[in-house]
Structure 1
Amino acid sequence: MLDLSWPCGGRVAEHYYLAIEGVIGVGKTTLARLLQPELNAQLLLEVFEENPFLSAFYTDRARYAFQTQIFFLLSRYHQQHHVLARLLQSGPVISDYTFAKDRLFAHLNLKGDELETYERLHNALAENVIRPDLILYLEADTPVLMERIAVRDRPYERNISEEYIESLRAAYEAFMASYTEAPVLRIDTNRLDVVRNPQDLAEVVQRVRSALGQGTHQRALPHLAAPGTVAAEEALATARRRLADLQRLRRLADADSGLGDNPYYTIMCLQARVGELASHLARTWALEESLRAQFGNREEALEAAVRRSREQFQEALADCLTCMLRLANRLGIDLEGAYMRRLREPDAPRDERG
């Protein structure tokens, strides 16, 4: 069976370790502080201000990269190995960084003997560090990051170049795409304002709780305007979707069970499920007719009939979706991408060839 439980690294579920990651300026520390009271957690914040080489590094990266990186490595190790373990004994912990990111920065800034020396030290320390139970990865475009860095105006960040931030953003994307040591929850922060907009913060809190197994969360669907309009395009661009997540989950479940290999069998199953759905609909229509005399109008009768049949519709639709996800996986189709393209181009011609 596919194991969807939350292991929490051998700790009890209430003592989880949530780490927030992302490029400089994306808002990790701000979000960590806002999540602390919402999740009743303790904070473990990076003490980057204590690094005496940081300001010089942003002025002359090549000259001060090694000193800066080694200081960060040892400082982060002390926090992650000693302080974090102590905090987790009394409850959940939220950190605004991961120990793993140190190596990402090292590979971006060090070369040759310096990188080799760093790797030896890092490898000796990394095995003693506690891994997160969930990583909250905050994403933002480079211009947005540069604007946020300018707004907070930290003296040692004034010389950061846009080129460096872009290279760092690309490195983070590659790192997170291949990261397998903990679940990663991605949050697009380009249009998110968790400080001024309580709804944005509530959305993030609910997504985190859901990922931690503390509740369910259905992401909001976009309110679409007429296809092809500016409003529709903006809604499609900013919509938070989960169809791709469901498709990946279906793939994992089928790999574990051995199902989903035969597309013809899956199509037959889909036809059967659609038939069941049609049967439920026919019974609902019949029930509506019998209730019309009781309610005196069609609208209330239909609502009552649907209400009585909603559970059957729910199960039938879920079965149909399972078949569609399985078929899309078998045929190598990005179902979410295909669906969003149809929303953008509802009148695009279909290939009718057999």
Structure 2
Amino acid sequence: MITIGAMIGAGKSSLAKLLGEHLGSEVFYESVDDNPILPLFYTATEEEIQKKRYPFLLQLYFLNTRFRSIKKALVHENNVLDRSIYEDWYFAKVNKELGRISDLEFQMYEGLLENMLEELEELPKKAPDLMIYLTGSFETILKRIQERGRGYELDESLVDYYRILWSGYDQWMETQYKASEVLKINIDQYDYVNNMDDQIEVLDRITKKLAEIRGK
């Protein structure tokens, strides 16, 4: 099982699609287009956020749908997950630090996450074999968010939120993520969506890393 981790807008879904086609495997995409809370999270005022608790509800929604994908993915070989369940904690932590998720809500969230990550008898494992982590400059992140054109993501008031998320993402990956081996792809260097040479090189790097892992 392969999972792709990255900041919002880095290109996870595009790489997941390419990788699924390359490996002939199923792809489990992050629940975005059918997510009833995500547009509310992005467009709500601070007063509405405090009253209706959209950040907490959004984290619960993502946690639930991601855990369902993990259970489906682990019954077959060679599946690709668009974002990992481990990253959900980072998003929850940032929103807690911003005062959008309360201490009690975060405590409840962490308890639920820990429970989900405990090994279940009917599942061989829940940890991925490889995390492909997309890293890059904040300018590239903003450019890609603008290019994909989801209306509720484009408000200028969200730029500070994106910057806060981006500023700690690499540190989270380097110091907190321990579930699997990691292959880093720099999105400033590789444009695997629009450049065929970059696409070939990225897929080749991933294929070689998977072969290395299988050989251990």
TM range, smaller chain: 0.7 to 0.9
Partner of 1:26: 10
Cα drift, residue 66 of structure 1: 0.9
Within 5 A, what are the aligned runs for 1:175-254? 175-178=172-175, 179-213=177-211
Give the whole-Å Cα distance in 2 for the aligned partners of 1:41 and 1:98. Answer: 17
Partner of 1:100: 86
Cα drift, residue 59 of structure 1: 2.5
Alpha-carbon displacement from aligned partner over 1:135-163 (angstroms, at most 9, x marks no partner): 11011211111111111111231236221
Contact 1:138 1:189 in 2 (8 A): yes
Give the whole-Å Cα distance in 2 for the aligned partners of 1:111 and 1:190. Answer: 35
Contact 1:46 1:97 in 2 (8 A): yes
Contact 1:22 1:139 in 2 (8 A): yes
Give the whole-Å Cα distance in 1 for the aligned partners of 2:21 and 2:185. Answer: 20
Which has the higher relative contact order, 1 or 2, with Cα contacts under 8 A spaced 6 or more apart?
2
Cα drift, residue 176 of structure 1: 0.7
Partner of 2:98: none
Within 5 A, what are the aligned runs for 1:28-43? 28-43=12-27
Partner of 1:161, secondary structure, is helix
Unpaired stretches in structure 2, ≥5 consecutive residues: 96-100, 120-124
Please tell me the residue identity of whatever aligns with 1:140.
G
Unpaired stretches in structure 1, ≥5 consecutive residues: 1-16, 216-354
Give the whole-Å Cα distance in 2 for the aligned partners of 1:49 and 1:102. Answer: 18
Within 5 A, what are the aligned runs for 1:267-346? none
Alpha-carbon displacement from aligned partner over 1:108-147 (angstroms, at most 9, x marks no partner): 1123111111111111112246111011101121111111
Please tell me the residue identity of whatever aligns with 2:114.
N
How many residue pairs get aligned? The number is 195
- When the two structures are superposed, what TM-score results if normalisation uses the length of structure 1? 0.52
Cα drift, residue 214 of structure 1: 6.0
Alpha-carbon displacement from aligned partner over 1:57-107 (angstroms, at most 9, x marks no partner): 1123643211111111111111112x1123x2xx31112111111111111
Partner of 1:49, secondary structure, is coil
Aligned partner (choices 139, 142, 145) of residue 141 of structure 2: 145
Contact 2:190 2:202 in 1 (8 A): no
Identity of aligned residues (%): 31
Give the whole-Å Cα distance in 1 for the aligned partners of 2:107 and 2:185. Answer: 34
Partner of 1:75: 65
Cα drift, residue 182 of structure 1: 0.4
Give the whole-Å Cα distance in 1 for the aligned partners of 2:58 and 2:24. Answer: 34
Q: Please, what is the CA RMSD of the aligned residues?
A: 1.8
Alpha-carbon displacement from aligned partner over 1:40-64 (angstroms, at most 9, x marks no partner): 2221111122221111211236432
Give the whole-Å Cα distance in 1 for the aligned partners of 2:38 and 2:194. Answer: 30
Which of structures 1 and 2 has the bigger CA Rg? 1
1:119 and 2:115 correspond = no
Partner of 2:70, secondary structure, is helix
1:52 and 2:41 correspond = no
- When the two structures are superposed, what TM-score results if normalisation uses the length of structure 2? 0.83
Contact 1:142 1:162 in 2 (8 A): no
Partner of 1:136, secondary structure, is strand
